[in-house]
Amino acid sequence: MFTGKGNSSRNISILFFILCTFIFIEKSVAKDKISDISDLNLNDIAYLWPTPKSQDDVNALISADFLINDGELWPEEKFNDVIHFAENKVNGKDASGNIVKISFVSGVGVFEGQLRKRKSWKVVGFRVDPSAPSASPESIEQWGSIPQIRLVLQPVTVNESGVVTIHDMTAHLPFNFVLNTTWPFQPDKIAFEKILNDLLTLKKSQQQMQASSQLEGPLNVNSNLLTKNFADQVKAFLHDNLSASRLEFISFMGTANSDQWIFFNLASNALSPNSQLLHVKPSSTSGFVGNRIGNNVNQNFDNCNGISTAVLFNNGIDTELGNTVQCVDSAATSPALPKLQDIPNIIANPVNSNVMNTDCVSCHTESTRRSILKLTTVSADQLQLPEFEPYVMDDLLPKDKWNVRNFGWFTKDVLTDPKPIISTRAANETASSLKFIKEHYAN
């Protein structure tokens, strides 16, 4: 028979055991519970698909004609407008007098017809941005804030032997979530909060998947997308949140026969591009040709217009990197001017540079110029968000001089194995986006 004291001790022990069990269960549940937007990380707002290796891999990808809730991802009429413009618009002449325009001949030309078919264009990645063109307060005051889902598509073909080829062309399709139609734009916060909550659901679905541990740190390829069940969930996310009416313009990049890149933006309701119809030849002798940047297009640095990567293509530039940049305005003698070696940091910093004040060639070449010129200098012009560093896996950064991919897949030629690419610029934008989300949308 137990004494009163014994019963009391036993009751305390039981209560202690129950309490410990409850705390253990609560902590275990909390560890797996993802319920707040603040739980999102870099890889939750930027999805990059693994490169396809077979016909089955290609078939599993999302095509341009993918059905969304009110139509198709890249409507046929808009697709045809872009392809027609890309094929027929002449971008002047190069230094040798050759006409410069995008070529749809890839390899030995056997893919030419396939590149004009929507079915060949595949979603290779997407990023979620809470505030385009920039998350900086100064930019928002001037232009407003445009939440976006930005899709990247590239043509992928498979020949009769089953060989997969990824072609060096890219289309960027940004879907805008705003309440008005003129600057400054007002964000549709209700729609964007739904997007973020859907991303939380996708994050939760991945918690027990094999590749989840690879997605907790720097930006990386999402191997979970190789799992059909999860890939279908991502398709459902895009189907439910995208609307054809939200696709306002399309950015396009291709190459000319003379190995020159050509970039342009095409408004969805007009057959004329913005002023950024540009081409550049990344050779050791020609540098920028045609429409050279380094003018008033670029206004991404206080009191110094014209900062771009153009000068970093010049012959002998490696001996001039310590020189001060040359502005196209009256502030050329300012003591605060950066050096040429600082240009990639300025271009890659979304606080300074965005689509409204910087040419697209610069944004797509800062990483390769940094690598080729071995620029490792840390400057005040770099994006500094130590809580998210490092932003990207180093082996994903573009290093080949022909690689102008920001977020997608790159192959030097049709015979070279493709690899996934994330530039410093894209990684910085993602880190800046995540910071803005946590500050403005977290519960």
Q: What is the pLDDT of residues 142-180, one digit of tens each?
A: 999 999 999 999 999 998 899 999 999 999 999 999 999
| Predicted confidence band of residue 290 (pLDDT cuts 50, 70, 90) | very low
State the pLDDT at residue 305: 80
| Predicted confidence band of residue 272 (pLDDT cuts 50, 70, 90) | very low
State the pLDDT at residue 299: 78
| pLDDT of 275 strictly over 70 | no
d(C-alpha 401, C-alpha 371), whole Å: 9
Long-range CB contacts (< 8 A, 24+ apart) of 263-268?
263/360, 263/361, 263/364, 264/85, 264/86, 264/89, 265/360, 266/81, 266/82, 266/85, 268/78
The DSSP string of 139-178 is HHHHHB-EEEEEEEEEEEEE-TT--EEE-S-EEEEEEE-B
Average pLDDT value for residue range 370-378 = 92
Average pLDDT of the chain is: 85
Average pLDDT value for residue range 55-67 = 98
Q: Where are the alpha helices (DSSP H) in 89-227?
A: 137-143, 189-206
Of 188-197, 257-266, 336-345, 392-401, give the lowest mean pLDDT range.
257-266
- Predicted TM-score (pTM) of the model is 0.88
State the pLDDT at residue 99: 78
State the pLDDT at residue 213: 87
The highest-confidence range among 33-47, 53-67, 197-211, 375-389, by mean pLDDT, is 53-67
Average pLDDT value for residue range 366-378 = 93
Q: What percent of the chain shows pLDDT beyond 90?
A: 59
| pLDDT of 29 strictly over 60 | no
Q: What is the pLDDT of residues 204-261, one digit of tens each?
A: 999 989 888 889 999 999 999 999 999 999 999 999 999 999 998 899 998 887 677 8
| pLDDT of 95 strictly over 70 | no
346, 381 in Cβ contact below 8 A?
A: yes
